[in-house]
């Protein structure tokens, strides 16, 4: 075994006490083997075929059987009704790579009373600790209890933009986040923090400048801290964070943006040695909220009803298209406020197909065709 004293005696030297030396060496060797056995296996940051990337902060992370991750964030992390949130894509990537993960937290649903996810078949670990509209101070006041209850190995912190919107300075935002992180470590010094940058905010240049300055302060404070993995969701240039392409209102994520943020966060976990391979999440995708209208007929008066989806799916308006079975347009591309719930039209005899597309900001959902007949 390397590092153990040699038991061979040098040529020409006295052989006195050879038996004692050999016995002592045997005792030392036995102790070392026992210590290694008790230490257990070391989990590397990367496999032999997939080495960990340069800049990995911890080449020997703790050998968790299941990684417990708690997401502490605002509406960007909670998501809205009808979304497939970044948490879903992030969780799915861990499953794809065969890494056991347990998302923990007191909440399970997206924002809104009765809200559901994009599809009822969207199966994933939904637990989280995010709350729409929340500031850093909101989470700072409750983090002690969450740490005690859920004992996460990693806390993802996606916060700060609401503080900037409410008028806090960059220094205040950075200091509040520092206070939150210190409370996390006071509860569990071994917990890693994955810290997201404040996002772009094109609605208000002053707020956007505060967000950028807060990011600069956070990077200076935590960029080299081995306890923190920075998420470069705003400053990474490989896939530029373009609010027009990845949000529906300049801030909140559209369907493509959800995959990009999940990619950025998973990349941080990869740098920390918690994913064996580079993540493959980001892709352009349509919004598929699965809003199926109900069609009611009374004589030739036909009502297209989407009221049942108004609560579960966040939408500002709907676009209704009615076509004949041969494809000819009957009622085309009419838009109605979502909260009107229905629209009634008089139609001649025939077979029709209605296409209803929910809209939210710049995002338009894929319609689910419904066929009906007017006798």
| pLDDT given for residue 255 in this prediction | 98
3-state secondary structure the chain: CCCCCCCCCCCCCCCCCHHHHHHHHHHHHHHHHHHHHHHCCCCCCCCCCCCCCCCCCCCCCCCCCCEEEEEEECHHHHCECCCCCHHHHHHHHHHHCCCCEEEECCECCCECCCCCCCCCCCCCCCCECCCCCCCHHHHHHHHHHHHHHHCCCEEEEECCHHHHHCCCCHHHHHHHHHHHHHHHHHHCCCCEEEEECCCCCCCCHHHHHHHHHHHHHHHHHHCCCCCEEEECCCCCCCCCCCHHHHECCCCCECHHHHHHHHHHHHHHHHHCCCCCCCCCCCCCCCECCCCCCEEEEECCEEEEECHHHCCCCCCCEEEEEEEECCCCEEEEEEEEEHHHCEEEEECCCEEEEEEEEEEECCEEECCCCEEEEEC
pLDDT, mean of residues 141-153: 99
Tell which residue, 290, 311, 314, 308, has the closest CA to residue 366.
290
| pLDDT given for residue 331 in this prediction | 78
pLDDT, mean of residues 180-191: 98
pLDDT, mean of residues 266-279: 98
| pLDDT given for residue 121 in this prediction | 83
83-108: pLDDT as tens digits: 999 999 999 999 999 999 999 999 99
Instruction: Please give the CATH architecture assigned to the domain spanning 67-271.
Output: 3-Layer(aba) Sandwich (3.40)
- In this predicted structure, which of 66-75, 115-124, 137-146, 169-178 has the lowest mean pLDDT? 115-124
Span(s) in the chain for CATH 3.40.50.1110: 67-271
220-258: pLDDT as tens digits: 999 999 999 999 999 998 888 999 999 999 999 999 999
| Structure token pair of residue 24 | 């002592």
- pLDDT of 11 higher than 50: no
Question: What whole-number percentage of the chain has pLDDT above 70?
Answer: 83
- Return the higher-pLDDT residue of 199 and 25: 199
Average pLDDT, the chain: 87
Which band of pLDDT confidence, cut at 50, 70 and 90, is reported for residue 323?
very high
Which band of pLDDT confidence, cut at 50, 70 and 90, is reported for residue 49?
very low
| pLDDT given for residue 238 in this prediction | 86
What's the distance, CA 225 to chain centroid? 22
| pLDDT given for residue 63 in this prediction | 58
| pLDDT given for residue 240 in this prediction | 87
Q: pTM of the prediction? A: 0.82
Tokens 């800049």 belong to which residue?
55
What is the CB neighbour count within 10 angstroms for residue 215?
Answer: 24
How far, in Å, CA of 92 to CA of 281, rounded?
9
Span(s) in the chain for CATH 2.60.40.10: 294-374
CATH class of 294-374: mainly beta
What is the CB neighbour count within 10 angstroms for residue 173?
Answer: 27
| pLDDT given for residue 120 in this prediction | 79
């Amino acid at each position: 075994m390397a590092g153990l004293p040699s038991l061979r005696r040098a040529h020409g030297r006295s052989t006195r006490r050879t038996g004692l030396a050999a016995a002592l060496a045997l005792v030392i060797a036995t102790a070392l083997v026992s210590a290694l056995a008790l230490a257990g296996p070391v989990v590397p940051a990367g496999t032999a075929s997939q080495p960990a990337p340069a800049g990995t902060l911890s080449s020997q992370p703790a050998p968790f059987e299941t990684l417990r991750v708690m997401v502490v964030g605002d509406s960007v992390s909670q998501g809205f009704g009808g979304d497939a949130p970044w948490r879903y894509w992030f969780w799915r990537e861990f499953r794809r790579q065969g890494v056991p993960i347990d998302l923990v937290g007191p909440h399970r649903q997206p924002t809104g009373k009765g809200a559901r996810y994009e599809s009822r078949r969207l199966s994933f670990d939904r637990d989280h600790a995010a709350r729409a509209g929340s500031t850093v101070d909101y989470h700072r006041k409750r983090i002690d209890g969450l740490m005690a209850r859920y004992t996460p190995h990693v806390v993802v912190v996606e916060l700060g933009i609401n503080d900037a919107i409410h008028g806090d300075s960059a220094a205040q935002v950075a200091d509040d986040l520092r206070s939150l992180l210190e409370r996390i470590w006071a509860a569990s010094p071994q917990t890693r923090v994955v810290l997201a940058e404040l996002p772009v905010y094109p609605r208000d240049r002053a707020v956007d400048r505060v967000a950028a300055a807060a990011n600069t302060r956070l990077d200076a404070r935590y960029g080299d801290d081995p306890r923190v993995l920075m998420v470069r969701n705003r400053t990474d240039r490989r896939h530029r964070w373009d609010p027009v392409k990845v949000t529906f209102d300049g801030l909140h994520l559209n369907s493509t943006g959800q995959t990009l943020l999940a990619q950025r966060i998973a990349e941080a976990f990869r740098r920390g040695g918690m994913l064996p391979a580079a993540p493959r999440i980001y892709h352009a995708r349509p919004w598929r909220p699965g809003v199926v209208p109900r069609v009611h007929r009374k004589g030739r008066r036909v009502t297209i009803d989407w009221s049942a989806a108004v609560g579960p799916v966040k939408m500002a308006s709907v676009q209704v298209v009615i076509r004949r079975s041969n494809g000819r347009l009957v009622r085309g591309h009419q838009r109605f406020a979502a909260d009107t719930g229905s629209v009634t039209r008089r139609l001649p005899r025939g077979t029709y197909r209605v296409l209803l597309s929910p809209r939210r900001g710049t995002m338009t959902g894929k319609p689910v065709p419904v066929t009906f007949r007017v006798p």
